[in-house]
Amino acid sequence: MSLARRIATTAGAIAVLALVPGPTSAQQVTWAEHVAPILYQTCVECHSPEGIGPMSLVDYQSARRYAARIRDMVASREMPPWHIDRDVGIQQYKNDVSLTDEEIATVVRWVDGGAVQGNVALAPPVPGLPSGTEWRLAEQFGPPDLVIRSTPFSVPESGLDSWWTPEIVVDGIDGPRWVMANETKPQYPMGRKVVHHANTNLIPAGEERGSGFTNFGVGKPFDIYPENTGQMVSPGDKVSFNIHYYPVGEAVADDVVEVGLWFYPEGETPRFATEGDVQWSSQREVMVDGAPLTMQQLVIPPHGRAVTQGIQRLDQNTRIHSCRGHMHLRGSSQQLEAVFPDGHTEILCKVNWNGLWHITYLFEDDVAPLLPAGTVLLVTAWYDNSEHNPVNPDPDQWVTYGRRSGDEMSHMWIGVTYLEEEDFEYLKDERQRRVAQQQ
């Protein structure tokens, strides 16, 4: 290493140390005192013997064994799984699980300092972990008012991924009800390991198509709608499941995915009716080597890159409460941007795509975009078929549009509520009032 580079590295390290409020710069960073609290709070929910993570990080020995990988995954913000770009777009989310820069610096310093154990007496107790049999929202809302179950599916010990798409007719309610919150729960313990993601659409009785209803990608099993907002469910509506199962080396018989619904009290209609998640495409215009094509003509050459873009004009005032990307293995990022009627633009969210994680990012209520009618939304997607894409199965392949995971596509699921003028103004005023109060 050259002298200049060494000085640069040292200067960088000092700059990082200055940010750490926990351990002082002279103090040794230890597992017991500084790192275990971070792992317990952020990682062991998945990295425990029964969790979905590939290894447990509950005790010192295992954390030490994986120290180098932990350093890589934490420093690159791959772990914990939270892939919102931190440089652009809204940064306040209800379900943010990311680490602070200080916490990352602590973990990095711990590994670089030899992953020392320290005084075990100072380590916090191992936290009680959610067993996976209970509804997470039960603590807050009690048991669900209605549970919708997929029909059983058996996952073989090995072989190809399967998609299971049963449609279940809503039953067990007397009339229309307004959903306040929902949660998706695979069977425990094995269902949780074989369900890669499980989403549903809600198709109103007598109609063919519906909108996005509930989501389960690893990491976020529930959704609570914004204040005074609900989605209506009626007897006879259909809940259409889309479950992606993958084999994990052990056969799993008759798996069932449950969707729990919590309703507003009978007779109470929330002021705002959400459409649920609407799919907005970034597939209408494709630019490959500067030439526009339709999505069906998408061809990403070996070791090549591509960009696609879709435009959606809002005919009504709209509040957006969440965004979730969808691409396959060559996806590298997706961005949702608003072009306001006055011409100014704002990036709402940018997801650095990771094909393993289908996370719904829920905006904090006070920053959920309020967009006037006439706003144009731009969804841009970037694809990377080069060897620099860490999940690329084969950069030598030509990649085209299609449904299989080796093909490519791009759309975003956006949680929307359309608003009458009066409601739109009300929400804007409310927000201004609350923000002013906080200052």
Q: CB burial class (10 A; 0-12, 13-18, 19+) of residue 278?
A: middle
Which among 120, 97, 102, 116 is positioned nearest to 43, based on CA atoms? 97
Residue with Cβ nearer ligand HEC (32 or 218) = 218
Closer to ligand HEC by CB, 71 or 319: give it: 71
Q: Measured between alpha carbons, how far is 164 from 244 in angstroms, rounded to an integer?
A: 7
Stretch in the footprint of ligand HEC (CB under 6 A) among 41-49, 240-248, 277-285, 394-402? 41-49
Q: Pick the closer one to ligand HEC by CB: 35 or 298.
A: 35
Instruction: Tell the smallest beta-carbon distance from residue 42 to ligand HEC (Å).
Output: 4
Letter string b/e over residues 244-267, b meaning 16 or more CB atoms within 10 A of that residue's CB = bbebeeeebeebebbbbbbbbeee
Burial readout 152-176 (b: 16 or more C-beta within 10 A, e: otherwise): ebebeeeeeeeebebebebeebeee
**Which string of x and - marks every residue 95-124 that binds ligand HEC (by CB under 6 A)?**
----x-------------------------
The nearest distance, CB 47 to ligand HEC, in angstroms, is 5
Query: Does residue 43 belong to the site contacting ligand HEC (CB under 6 A)?
Result: yes
* Residue 22 engages ligand HEC in binding (rule: CB under 6 A): no
Q: Give SS3 for 54.
A: coil
From candidates 29, 37, 40, 47, binder to ligand HEC by CB under 6 A: 47
Closer residue to ligand HEC, CB minimum distance, 42 or 318: 42
Spacing of C-alpha 312 from chain mean position: 22
State the angle between helix axes of 3-19 and 101-112 in degrees (0 to 180), rounded to the nearest 10. Answer: 130
Peptide bond into 369 cis (omega under 30): no
Please identify which residue in 16, 17, 52, 75 interacts with ligand HEC, judged by CB under 6 A.
Answer: 52
Among 23, 35, 64, 80, binds ligand HEC (CB under 6 A): 80
For the CB of residue 78, give the shortest distance to ligand HEC in the complex, in Å.
7
Nearer to ligand HEC, 42 or 308 (CB): 42
Q: Report the C-alpha gap between 106 and 20 in whole angstroms.
A: 7
Is there a cis peptide before residue 166, judged by omega within 30 degrees of 0? no
- Residue 345: which residues within 8 A CB-CB, separation 6 or more? 337, 338, 339
Q: Is 42 in the site for ligand HEC (CB under 6 A)?
A: yes
- Counting contacts by CB under 6 A, is residue 129 touching ligand HEC? no
Stated as kind and residue range, the H or E segment containing 211 is: strand 211-214
Q: Whole-angstrom Cα distance, residue 300 to residue 194? A: 31
Taking the C-alpha atoms of residue 437 and residue 132, their distance in angstroms, rounded to an integer, is 40
Q: Which of residues 184-223 bind ligand HEC (CB under 6 A)?
A: 218-219
Size of the site for ligand HEC (CB under 6 A): 20
Contacts of 372 (CB under 8 A, 6+ apart): 314, 317, 340, 341, 424
Query: With binding defined as CB under 6 A, does residue 74 bind ligand HEC?
Result: yes
Beta-strand runs (E) in 54-189: 146-149, 153-155, 162-164, 167-169, 177-186
Partners of 235 in the β-ladder:
none
Q: Which range touches ligand HEC (CB under 6 A), out of 79-87, 124-132, 297-305, 395-403?
A: 79-87
- Residue 230's nearest CA partner among 192, 275, 195, 175 is 275
Q: Per rule CB under 6 A, is residue 54 in the interface with ligand HEC?
A: yes
**In whole angstroms, how close is the CB of 66 to ligand HEC at the nearest point?**
5
From the CB of 215, what's the least distance to ligand HEC, in Å? Answer: 14
Stretch that binds ligand HEC, among 64-72, 209-217, 256-264, 335-343 (CB under 6 A): 64-72
Write out the binding residues for ligand HEC, residues 317-346 only, by CB under 6 A: none
70 makes contact with ligand HEC (CB under 6 A) = yes
Q: Does 84 bind ligand HEC (CB under 6 A)?
A: no
Instruction: State in angstroms the smallest separation of the CB of 83 from ligand HEC.
Output: 10
55 vs 347 by CB, closer to ligand HEC? 55
Beta carbons of 377 and 311 less than 8 angstroms apart: yes
In terms of CB distance, is 99 or 306 closer to ligand HEC?
A: 99
Judged by CB under 6 A, does residue 391 bind ligand HEC? no
Provide the binding-site residues for ligand HEC, judged by CB under 6 A.
42-43, 45-47, 52-54, 66, 69-70, 73-74, 79-81, 99, 218-219, 356
